[in-house]
A = this chain, B = another copy of it.
Amino acid sequence: MSANTFGNNFRITTFGESHGKAIGVIIDGCPSGVDFDIAYIQSELDRRRPGSTDIGTKRNEKDKVEVLSGVFEERTEGTPIALVIFNNDQKSHDYSTIKDVFRPGHADYTYFRKYGIRDYRGGGRSSGRETASRVAAGAVAKLVLKDYGISVHAGIRSVKDIDIKGDFHPPFKAPLYTISNEHDDEILTLIEETKKKKDSLGGVVECHITGVPAGLGEPVFDKAEALIAHAVMSIGAVKGIEFGLGFASTKLYGSENNDEISRKGFLSNNAGGILGGITNGEEIIFRAAFKPTPSIAQKQHTIDINGMEKEIEIIGRHDPLILVRALPVVEAMSALVVLDLLLENNKYGR
């Protein structure tokens, strides 16, 4: 099935190339009568926007969202909500140097092999710009979830080998939105040095979803972890995901890992709020691994569309660390899944 649509009940369809005329999203299945807070949606987009932080790229599209349908007198109609962001910065020539060359770590090679087309304008659909549509849709999902008392927050748990300890208490502070700000100076220094080296960094994002009722998740193939993993792994640069203790749980005995239950609830949350693929009423907790940004100005070996070997240096506007801008994207994809499962569960009046 063509795969620019996500979700079964609250279902989004995104479109748009990074340097095309516009990008956007159609939201289908949004309940009617929801107060449509466009300012909030724009504020979420601003979190993702390049140049939103002084560590981001210098590119600045403004990313002004426009509503084409689905909203009447500031409330949702239950009809498809069309949100569009026109691209007012289409400097394709920035990319012309790499016109026929495949950037290592990018989708240039695989898209060319799949579609036989080389859209050299900044990666087309594979560009991170596509995620703006997800953030816009996720913001609408968050507006609906708020009425259910459900909230989603993501923060940075690690940057390269700098692990950030401490409990998860959002909201987190600018400019890095790390879970505790202890290491911010260290990280900002690392970012500066990395820039100088014409290199880039990765890290781990942690996300918590609070207020989720027990009972969400559809056995056996649409378990809550499975759908969230699908959603989050569909974000470019994510190479791994784990729930609760995740990989660390493999090093424990069952007696250490099991969450015992008391009249007051679970005595621990090693499971990350999900048992047998169904939410148990505890906080949903997961972490996503972001590989270092593939766009680097260092010389790299590659080939062109004719198979000739080349050397490439990716000049231009690139984040050495994508994590900060990735936070609203991770939150958006999580919100979409939780709302989708909530509506699914409603079918049975649960």
Interface residues of A (CB under 8 A from B): 1-6, 8-11, 13-17, 20-24, 26, 28-29, 31-33, 66-70, 72, 75, 77-82, 84, 102, 104-107, 109-111, 113-117, 119, 121, 124-126, 130, 158, 160-161, 194, 197, 199-204, 214-215, 217-223, 225-227, 229-231, 233-234, 236, 238-247, 249-263, 267, 271-272, 274-281, 289-296, 298, 300-303, 307-309, 343-350
Are B117 and A75 in contact, with the CB atoms below 8 A? yes
Task: Give which listed residue, B106, B200, B277, B350, contacts A234 with CB less than 8 A.
Answer: B277
- Cα-based distance from A115 to B126 in the complex (angstroms): 37
Are A276 and B110 in contact, with the CB atoms below 8 A? yes
Q: Which of A80, A277, A302 has the most CB of B within 10 A?
A: A80
- List 19 A–B pairs whose Cβ atoms lie within 8 Å, in order of A's numbering: A2-B10, A2-B28, A4-B220, A5-B11, A16-B68, A72-B119, A77-B115, A105-B257, A105-B259, A107-B278, A110-B276, A130-B220, A160-B251, A197-B255, A202-B257, A230-B230, A240-B243, A247-B247, A346-B347
Are B223 and A234 in contact, with the CB atoms below 8 A? yes
- Cα-based distance from A279 to B350 in the complex (angstroms): 25
Task: Tell me, rounded to whole Å, the shortest Cβ–Cβ distance linking A172 to chain B.
Answer: 18
- Cα-based distance from A263 to B204 in the complex (angstroms): 33
Chain B residues contacting A231 (CB-CB under 8 Å) are 221, 226
Are A70 and B33 in contact, with the CB atoms below 8 A? no
- Cα-based distance from A274 to B114 in the complex (angstroms): 12
Task: Tell me, rounded to whole Å, the shortest Cβ–Cβ distance linking A23 to chain B.
Answer: 7
Are A289 and B104 in contact, with the CB atoms below 8 A? no
Are A348 and B346 in contact, with the CB atoms below 8 A? yes
Are B240 and A276 in contact, with the CB atoms below 8 A? no
Task: Give which listed residue, B22, B114, B225, contacts A215 with CB less than 8 A.
Answer: B114
Are B244 and A239 in contact, with the CB atoms below 8 A? yes
Task: Tell me, rounded to whole Å, the shortest Cβ–Cβ distance linking A131 to chain B.
Answer: 9
Are A226 and B220 in contact, with the CB atoms below 8 A? no
Task: Give which listed residue, B201, B225, B261, contacts A254 with CB less than 8 A.
Answer: B201
Chain B residues contacting A261 (CB-CB under 8 Å) are 102, 104, 109, 301-303
Chain B residues contacting A290 (CB-CB under 8 Å) are 250
Chain B residues contacting A72 (CB-CB under 8 Å) are 17, 20, 117, 119, 121, 124
If A5-B13, A296-B255 touch, whether A68 touches B32 (CB-CB below 8 Å) is no
Chain B residues contacting A33 (CB-CB under 8 Å) are 115-117
Chain B residues contacting A82 (CB-CB under 8 Å) are 15-16, 22, 24
- Cα-based distance from A117 to B102 in the complex (angstroms): 45
Task: Give which listed residue, B230, B291, B309, contacts A263 with CB less than 8 A.
Answer: B309
Are B230 and A239 in contact, with the CB atoms below 8 A? no
- Cα-based distance from A349 to B300 in the complex (angstroms): 33
Q: Which of A29, A220, A259 has the most CB of B within 10 A?
A: A220
Task: Tell me, rounded to whole Å, the shortest Cβ–Cβ distance linking A91 to chain B.
Answer: 16
Chain B residues contacting A257 (CB-CB under 8 Å) are 105, 202, 291-292, 294
Are B13 and A296 in contact, with the CB atoms below 8 A? no
Task: Tell me, rounded to whole Å, the shortest Cβ–Cβ distance linking A17 to chain B.
Answer: 6
Task: Tell me, rounded to whole Å, the shortest Cβ–Cβ distance linking A13 to chain B.
Answer: 5
Chain B residues contacting A298 (CB-CB under 8 Å) are 255
- Cα-based distance from A21 to B279 in the complex (angstroms): 28
Chain B residues contacting A23 (CB-CB under 8 Å) are 69
